[in-house]
Amino acid sequence: MTKRIFIIGNGPSLKPGDLDMIAASGFDSFACNRIQLIYDKTKWRPTYWNLADRSRSTMQAADIDFHLHEGYPCYVRADIPRGAEAVMWYKAFPDTFIPFAECDHLDVFRNPASAWHFPRLCKCGGSLGISIQQSVILGYDQLIVLGCDGGIKANSHNHFDAKYVDVDSVSGPDNEKCINQTLELMHRTAIDECRKRGVEILSATRAGRHWGYRQVRLEDYLT
């Protein structure tokens, strides 16, 4: 029997109505980063959440704390939490605060990764890639990505909410090229690694790129 999970990206095409349909279907989902900005528009909540991108943002500690209090497992790159807060999370959330080790891979221009290296997770490609890898580790054999638009543009609206503040915003054509090529590498690697493991990975993203995944209608995968 197929064990299905939805991998939720934070692209502009992500809509609350689609998340409500996933919630009503009862299928599991994996989300990341500042997905909570859509919570006031939907009853949906993810089954799992992760944060894999170190940022200059002052909001990361608050984001981690918020999701831990929501009660679902939170996979956090171990070098991101620091100090007293991290100690508190270890004590207060021993079952749902799940740190994972940082790896040495960065992006297409600096030590790229063209293969997974389980059991250690690969952070190349960011939090979305961690959602995909961790879903495979958890035993899901059909992954459907949603809201993974791609086409990141410099100083542009790259997320589902204009309030999705990104202090590490893309600036300049070289940075824009690096981010998009790194995402492409991550998705291509996911296709190859899932195929090796007998895992099907599909795209129900409403707009933007489909990254080489077979495109499907979300509505056809909710029953």
Task: Please give the single-letter amino acid code of residue 57.
Answer: S
For the cut 80, the answer to whether the pLDDT of residue 154 exceeds it is: no
Domain that holds residue 186: 4-221
Confidence of residue 157 (pLDDT cuts 50, 70, 90): confident
pLDDT tens digits along 20-66: 999 999 999 999 999 999 999 999 999 999 999 877 677 899 999 99
pTM for this predicted structure: 0.94
Kindly state the percentage of the chain with pLDDT values over 90.
Answer: 77
- Output the pLDDT for position 129: 97
Average pLDDT taken over every residue of the chain: 92
- Output the pLDDT for position 159: 86
- Output the pLDDT for position 32: 97
Domains: count for the chain: 1
For the cut 70, the answer to whether the pLDDT of residue 169 exceeds it is: no
